[in-house]
Amino acid sequence: MKKIIPVLLFLSATAFSQDKKPTDKEALLKVTVTDFNSVPRKSEIIIFENLKTKESFTGISGNDGKFSILIPKGCKYNIKFKSYIDEIDYNTIEIPSGEGQITSNLFIKIEPPKTFTLRNVLFDFGKATLKKESFKTLNDLVELMKIKTTMVIEIAGHTDNVGGAESNMKLSQERANSVRDYLIKNGVPATRVTAKGYGDTQPVDDNATDEGRQKNRRTEVKILSE
């Protein structure tokens, strides 16, 4: 399960960023993103969405897990974490209004999963040809790989148990290859993506039902290193 713990440490009138400074209208947030062992997490995308206007402000953590961001005062914000290709709501913070310049420290701790399923990655029946409905999800993955420049992944193909084990293994490998080829074609270095087919050997649901078989036919991303 993905986790995040936002902690608004303090509010003060002291600026602490050489690049950004608070103003009468905008507060300065200094954000630190770590795992639960306090190890900095780089290239994490944190989004602050104004609950009223839905305007978003996005920051990306550096190698030290830190970034600074200016957001308007006197508003409540939904904190979102870009968990690979999904935006997930976690908590809210409120930046007070009033006179004076405001700065604050925000500590966020997260434990992203090492494996996730690519939703809406679809293939022609019995083939490894990607349907056009797959492109949005795959393009999001491409953009993520461009932000997380050191992340290495495995594309894992899975099938249900309909058909022979050998043919399922072959089909799952070909489908994983198709996804890998798409990523490489769109700018992801080949050295950062491997592909492996698992056939029907790792079901996540009961193959006795249509719903279960549908869940078992999936494409996963495994994070090998970050």
Domains in the chain, ordered, with CATH? 4-110 (2.60.40.2190), 115-225 (3.30.1330.60)
Q: Tens digit of pLDDT for each residue in 5-64?
A: 444 333 333 333 447 889 989 999 999 999 989 999 988 889 999 999 999 999 999 999
Which residues of the chain carry a pLDDT beneath 70? Answer: 1-18, 85
Radius of gyration of the chain (CA): 21
Closest C-alpha among 142, 141, 121 to residue 187: 142
pLDDT at 85: 67
Q: Are 179 and 124 in contact (CB under 8 A)?
A: no
Closest C-alpha among 62, 79, 222, 80 to residue 148: 62
In three-state secondary structure terms, 85 is coil
Closest C-alpha among 186, 190, 81 to residue 130: 186
